[in-house]
Each structure stands twice: as C-alpha cells, then as structure tokens.
Amino acid sequence: MSNRKHVVIVGGGFGGINAARELKKADVNITVIDRTNHHLFQPLLYQVATAALSPGDIAVPIRSVLRKKPGLKIIHGTVTDINKSENYVVLEDGAHISFDYLILAPGARYNYFGNEHWKHHAPGLKTIGNALQIRETILLSLEKADRIEDPALREPYLTFVVIGGGPTGVEMAGAIAEIAKHSMMGDYDSFSPNETRIFLVEAGPKILSGYPDSLSRRAAHKLENMGVRVLTKTPVTNIEQNRVWFKDGSIETPNIIWAAGVAASPLLECLDTERDNSGRVKIQEDLSIPDHSNIFVIGDAAHLTDENGNPLPAVAPVAIQQGRHCGKMIRQEISTGSARKPFHYVDKGNMATIGRAKAVADIRGFKFSGFFAWVLWSIVHIFFLIGFRNRFRVFVEWMWHYITFKRGVRLITDREHKPAETEV
C-alpha cells in the first residue's frame, strides 16, 4: 500500500488551482473537489452578464487546467461536512474521503445581511448561472420595452439598479451604461437611449471604498458622464419583486443586481473555529486553523491580517498567492521536513474598469485613470486567464467591442429564471 500523503483540496477557484499546481511537483496524492467542473475567472463575469463575452471565454474545465498525473483525482461533488478529529470530508452523496492534509478554498457567496429572500429579486454575480440569469433579464426587459408605446409604462424596463459600489458594482454599472447608450440600443426603434436610467447604489459615503479618495471621485465622475446616477449614503431597506426600496423612496424595475458584499461559504461552520463577521475563518500565519495544523483555509474563506492589522481583501491575487504558498509549504514539509514559513501578501495594486477605455488603478502608490489605466487592467486580466485559447478569444472580443461598440452574445434561451447557488 502506498505511503504517499493524501492532500484534499476543496474548491477549484484561484486558491485551489494554484495549490494543486504546486503540489503536482510533490510526491503526494491529490484530490480536488468542486461542485462545478470548471475553473471560473470571476472578475470577468460581469462581461458575460452584459453580453460582451461567452461563458466559455472565462471558464475552463478543471481537468484541462491540472492535466492528468499519477495520484491526481478530480471529483465533481459538494462537500457537506468535515470531520477534523478523524481527518475526512463528507460529500453530498454520503461518500467519505480521508486526508492527511486538507486545503479549504470554497470561495464566497453574496451577503444579503440577513435578508436572504432578496436574492430571489436581486441576483448576485458569483457563478456563470448568475451571469446568464442577469443577461437574460436585461435582454428580456429590452424586448418588453420595445413592445410598449407609452414611455411611462416602459420606464421600469429601461431602468437598471446595481446595488454595491465596489469594483464589481462599478464595472457592472459602466457596462450597462455602454449597453444603454451605444451597443444594444441600435437594435430597437421604439425607444431612445436617453430613456434608460442606470443607478449605482452604495450605502457608504463613496464608491470604491478601498481606493484613494481621488480615484473614487474620478470613477464617480466618469460614471456620471456615462449616464449613471451614483447614489452614495443610500442603504437599501427592502427588495421586492421588480422594486427596490430606500429610506426616501423606491425604484421600480426588474433589473436589480446585487454586488454589495460577500459572506464566506457555510461549509466553514463545520470547522467550529473562530470566524469574523463575514464568516471567514481566522487562520494562523501559516494559513492553518488553530489546533489542526493539517487543515488550511485560503482565499475568500480566510481571515488573515497584514502588518498593519487590516484584513487581507477577498480578491484573486490574495487567493493565488495563498494557494501557491500553501502548496509549496506542504511540499517542502513532506520532502525535507522544513519548518513552515508565515504567509506574506505582496500587494501589487487595485484596479477597476468603468467602461470603454475608462478605468482607475492604484499600483503601489501610483494612481492612474482613463485609457492608460484601462490598458493596464486589460493586460492584467488577460494574463490571469488560464489557457491561450481563452486569452486570445477575450482579446479579440475586447478589440471588436472597442472598435464597433457591438456586443456579441445577445441570446435569450429557455433556461429557467431562478437564483443560482453560489456556494462550493
């Protein structure tokens, strides 16, 4: 019987994939478990939702990413429980999978702050299912508006509300503004682009709260110039079918998109260890959980502070670096018995796109906006896409969209409209 250690990785996102890649260099057995069969580039989901890209442009099968090697196994399944004392995980079908090391990278879901029924009316943007649901809602709204002659009656179908002023919300609002003013509106004759209304709603005092004030103001100004009404200090009080409520009124529309914060996967409750207000596990410097040095939590599921005591952000670069660190650390521990090194995040900057040739970037204290920031944003995002085919396709799609203002994937299918699950 083999004496090789068995490493189980839960989650095929940035953290899990990069941990697996490092561990492929080690003499271990690896099992990767994910509730889907693909690795998803979440930062570009909004472009699927707004019909700029196809799902296949930003997703690739996990089996294709990792390739086969002796001792590597991919399981399409959902982990429902974790037994820390006996070192095994339980799948939804009842199967038990034992481990010597466990790496948890289950990602996150959107946080509706105790109002879970809101997700039926305001889907988030975490999965391909979410993106396709939003895309079809937008397309169906435009089709309905095209059949209504009374401007007052068609106004709700030409109204879009994005809740949450972080990078996803800003990018989504900017993309919808481009749809409203340029790309899709040329397909409709019965209404004018000036009839569309786009609202970006933020409960805090500014959008892009993690960015310098100057870049936040520039982003808000650019969005306003694109026709987006930026509403700060405007918390949502309720969401109903086709209506979102605020303290001082409401907006009627079927196009409500939630991008207002994330919560960790409920799977982490099984660990029975300290978590923060978002449900993220408070981990140690080596990314393991207290009292169980063979169980690691990384990415959006982990709470770890930097040198200044600030929690690391739930962004792809953090997950990538933690995945690589965790995989390398386990590999060295098994092969040489070397002591573990604490994880240190190298912050390479923040960036968010606002629209066509418009973006803001804060890279190690250097602040950029406009076309140059957009070029940087495009290069970084294409670089992180896995697979040459995906990079080439996205580059071609972006250039085509930039030159022609046209969006290519404007299909309405017969898929059922219901909230897609976001947990791993």
pLDDT for residue 278: 87
Confidence category of residue 422, pLDDT binned at 50, 70, 90:
very low
Domain(s) of CATH 3.50.50.60: residues in the chain:
5-35+77-110+262-336
Q: Looking at residues 15-32, what average pLDDT do you find?
A: 95
Confidence category of residue 421, pLDDT binned at 50, 70, 90:
very low
The chain-wide mean pLDDT, for the chain, equals 88
400 φ, ψ (degrees, to nearest 5): -60, -45
Give catalytic status of residue 171 as yes or no.
yes
**Measured between alpha carbons, how far is 326 from 241 in angstroms, rounded to an integer?**
44
Count the neighbouring beta carbons within 10 Å of the beta carbon of residue 318. 22
In sign, the C-alpha dihedral spanning 291, 293, 294, 298 is positive
Q: What are the residues whose beta carbons fall under 8 Å from the beta carbon of 71, sequence distance 6 or more?
A: 4, 28, 29, 30
Q: In this structure, which topology does domain 116-260+350-404 adopt according to CATH?
A: FAD/NAD(P)-binding domain (3.50.50)
pLDDT for residue 413: 67
CATH class entry, domain 5-35+77-110+262-336: alpha beta
Q: What percent of the chain has pLDDT over 70?
A: 89
What is the token pair recorded at 43? Answer: 């930062």
Domain(s) of CATH 3.50.50.100: residues in the chain:
116-260+350-404
pLDDT for residue 288: 98
The terminus-to-terminus CA distance of the chain in angstroms comes to 32
Q: Looking at residues 34-41, what average pLDDT do you find?
A: 91
Report which of residues 331 and 47 the model is more confident about. 331
**pLDDT tens column, 189-213:** 888 888 899 999 999 999 998 888 9
Confidence category of residue 169, pLDDT binned at 50, 70, 90:
very high
pLDDT for residue 1: 42
pLDDT for residue 67: 81
**Measured between alpha carbons, how far is 318 from 322 in angstroms, rounded to an integer?**
6
**Measured between alpha carbons, how far is 365 from 212 in angstroms, rounded to an integer?**
9
DSSP structure string for 45-85 = HHHHHTTSS-HHHHEEEHHHHH---TTEEEEE--EEEEETT
Provide the strand spans (E) within 253-406: 255-258, 262-264, 281-282, 288-289, 292-297, 302-303, 350-355, 358-363, 366-369
Least confident stretch, 99-103, 304-308, 351-355: 351-355
pLDDT for residue 175: 87
pLDDT score of 419 more than 50: no
> Which is catalytic among the residues 22, 92, 116, 171?
171
**pLDDT tens column, 340-396:** 999 999 988 888 888 777 888 888 788 888 888 888 887 887 777 666 566 777 677
pTM comes to 0.86
